[in-house]
Amino acid sequence: MCFDGKCTTLTVEDLSLAIKNGIDRDGMPDEQARSMAQHVLNFFGYSERIIDNILEPEDRDAFYQLEDTGILTTEREETTLYDGREWRIHYWLFRKQRIFQLINANNLMGAMLDDSSSVYDEIPDDHWQRAK
């Protein structure tokens, strides 16, 4: 997975976290997110995209769910057959930037919650006194 000039392999752990953060941060059990990540990665292997024709209807449903969260996207290619007919080929691709955002969503939320400073801390104490 390449993002901002850095290339790494998309791991089951990374995709599990992205799925958990994208679908339901609190409600999806870790094991369910991991199972879905393994299932999806088994189709992709080391490829950047896969052809839609290899999917069974149940698998396609899971892919549509991940498309709704922005983890996957589709593209299509058109080619002309020898007899002149047009043929459309549909592909599934990972949206690496969105996956990266979802992976780092926990880090950003944690940093925001850990930041105990407040805008009110910047106001001098004498501004808090009432005028009589």
Residue 113's pLDDT is 46
Distance (Å, whole) CA 104 – CA 17: 9
- Kindly list the domain boundaries of the chain, sorted by start residue: 2-128
Distance (Å, whole) CA 113 – CA 101: 18
Query: pLDDT tens digits, residue range 57-93?
Result: 999 999 999 999 999 999 999 999 999 999 999 999 9
Residue 71: count of CB within 10 angstroms of its CB: 24
Residue 25's pLDDT is 64
End-to-end CA distance of the chain: 63
45: alpha, beta or left? (left if phi > 0; alpha if psi -120 to 50): left
pLDDT less than 70: residues of the chain: 1-7, 25-26, 106-118, 131-132
Residue 79's pLDDT is 95
- pTM of the shown model: 0.71
Residue 64's pLDDT is 96
